[in-house]
Amino acid sequence: MTTPNRLALLRYHILDACFVWGDPTQSDMLEPPKRLFKPELLERVNALLKEASPGIKPIAMRTLEKDIADMQVLYGVEIVKHSDHKRAYYAYSEFGMSIGSGALTAEEKAQLHGVLGNLSRFRGAEGFEWWTEMEALLRHRFDVVAPQKKATKRRGVSQHVQRRIFPRVQEKSALRWLEGAVSALQLNMPARVGFTTSDAERSERHSMLIENLVEETAGWLVLALVWDDEAQEAFRLVLPLDSITSWDDVLVDVPEGLKDAIPFAWSRYIDQRFALVPGVVKDADEKPVAMRLWFENKTASRYLTQPFHTSQDPRIERSGNGVAIQVNLVPNAPFIQWILHHGAAAQVLEPASLREMMGLETRKMAQSYAKMFGP
């Protein structure tokens, strides 16, 4: 297959937008794309092509079908042909699939594998402290397995690494666990992990499957499906990378509870929160709340150019000496702490119940500085 020209690439991106699944933050379900039967799909592609380049000739159905086949070869995506009353339409096979996150070709993967192998010689060298982290992320992003690892059967869930927009502060010593965590995620490789609990009162050791990794302000978080041998039950856990004390990726038997667990929409869970709370996931069913937040002008100017969350509405409302911004979030502890951190420069306007709760919190803070003695 020849290298695609500019117009072919444009068609690929148009088709990609037609095949991707819906935004999980806007629904309780991962929504497949709207059905565009083949004639409608061809009409949509030609309309958008004409919009992008008015003098372009419309493509024929055979070109559309060839583009769909070529996309799968070029980008490693899987486009499934469905039928409804003998009318055909197309969609990506799963949520999260896109040509922007597609796989490398076999030749590209081999080239990258060689480069990573050469650079791995510098691991631990002075000035290359960053390499341990970056190698793990590159191997995951492009599905290049470390040579000493053996692939296992993947589970039917969307497993991936997510990076937040916040700056990161991470103990360098904790990064030694990142390679194992990324490999376990990439290969669906169970691990036996020792860690200190979120309250730092005790140590635990459990079998787990890593389902996601996310980077936030305090560092990397491991999102895992965990099996409790004593209770004989599975649960989801948000585990800070720097709380891990031991890692063993050799397990003879995977607990049946992990094999049979229902897939969890981590992407939606993450996107609905300002930040994650380490510990056992107990608020999986909590819904986002539509909020109006007020920021004084200086603070607001920063968030208007660098949104603090993906749900932030681009429409703004001038209010007093500041700006009101709308977001949809689960108002968990990290969000409350973040708002309080702004002091008088930010406040919750709506909903009234959350505003009242914030008022109680600020009064508690004021009372903690009441006079202890003296006149």
Is there a single domain that holds both residue 310 and residue 223?
no
Residues 43 and 70 reside in one and the same domain: yes
Q: Domain total for the chain? A: 3
> Are the C-beta atoms of residues 219 and 241 closer than 8 Å to each other?
yes
Q: Tell me whether residue 137 is in a domain.
A: no
- Could you tell me the two tokens for 220? 């990397």
Burial of 120 (0-12, 13-18, 19+ CB in 10 A): middle
Range of the domain at 67: 6-101
Q: What token pair was written down for 246?
A: 């031991």
Instruction: Please give the pLDDT value at position 105.
Output: 67
Pairing mode of beta strands 160-163, 203-216: parallel
DSSP code for 5: -
In this prediction, residue 374 carries a pLDDT of: 52
Q: Tell whether 170 and 47 lie within a shared domain.
A: no
**Domain presence at residue 122:** no
Q: Is residue 188 part of a domain?
A: yes
Answer yes or no: do 160 and 263 share one domain: yes
Per-residue HEC secondary structure of 98-145 comes to CHHHCCCCHHHHHHHHHHHHHHHHHCCCCCCCCHHHHHHHHHHHCCCC
Question: Would 136 be classed as within a structural domain?
Answer: no
Based on the fold, state whether residues 154 and 267 are members of the same structural domain: yes
Q: Hey, is 61 helix, strand or coil?
A: helix
Same domain? 295 vs 269: no
In a domain, 217, yes or no: yes
Task: Give yes or no for a contact between 41 and 89, defined as CB atoms under 8 angstroms apart.
Answer: yes
Which strand ranges, in their side-by-side order, compose the sheet holding 346-350? Answer: 317-319, 322-329, 289-296, 346-350
The single-letter DSSP state of residue 273 is B
The pair of three-digit structure tokens given for residue 212, joined into one six-digit string: 């996601």
Cα–Cα distances (Å) from 218 to 144, 203, 223, 243, 306, in that order, read 28, 20, 15, 12, 19
Tell me: do 296 and 335 sit in the same domain. yes
Measured torsion, CA atoms of residues 312, 317, 320, 324, in degrees rounded to the nearest 10: -20
- CATH number, residue 93: 1.10.10
Same domain, 245 and 302: no
Provide the pLDDT for residue 304.
Answer: 84
Sequential pLDDT tens for the chain (375 residues): 555 677 888 888 899 888 887 544 444 444 556 788 899 999 999 998 888 777 788 999 999 999 999 888 888 788 988 888 888 889 888 777 888 766 666 777 788 888 888 887 777 777 777 777 777 777 776 767 666 554 444 443 444 555 444 444 445 566 778 878 888 887 788 889 999 987 777 899 998 999 988 888 778 899 999 988 888 889 999 999 989 999 987 665 677 777 778 888 888 898 889 999 999 999 888 999 999 999 999 998 888 888 888 888 888 888 888 999 999 999 999 999 999 999 889 999 999 999 998 888 888 877 777 766 555
Whether 78 and 178 map to the same domain: the answer is no
Neighbours of 299 (CB within 10 A): 16
Asked whether residue 202 is assigned to any structural domain, the reply reads: yes
pTM strictly above 0.75: no
CA distances 359 to 171, 332, 335, 347, 352, Å, are: 35, 16, 15, 9, 10
Question: Does residue 10 form part of some domain?
Answer: yes
Give the model's pLDDT for residue 64. 93
3-state SS assignment for residue 73:
helix
Residues 268 and 317 in one domain: no
- Bridge partners (DSSP) listed for residue 83: 88
List CB contacts of 85: < 8 A, sequence separation 6 or more: none
Residues 310 and 230 in one domain: no
Q: Do residues 184 and 192 touch, judged by C-beta distance below 8 A?
A: no
Are residues 275 and 153 both part of a single domain?
A: yes
Task: With respect to residue 109, please indicate whether it lies within any of the assigned structural domains.
Answer: no
CA of residue 222 relative to chain centroid, distance: 12
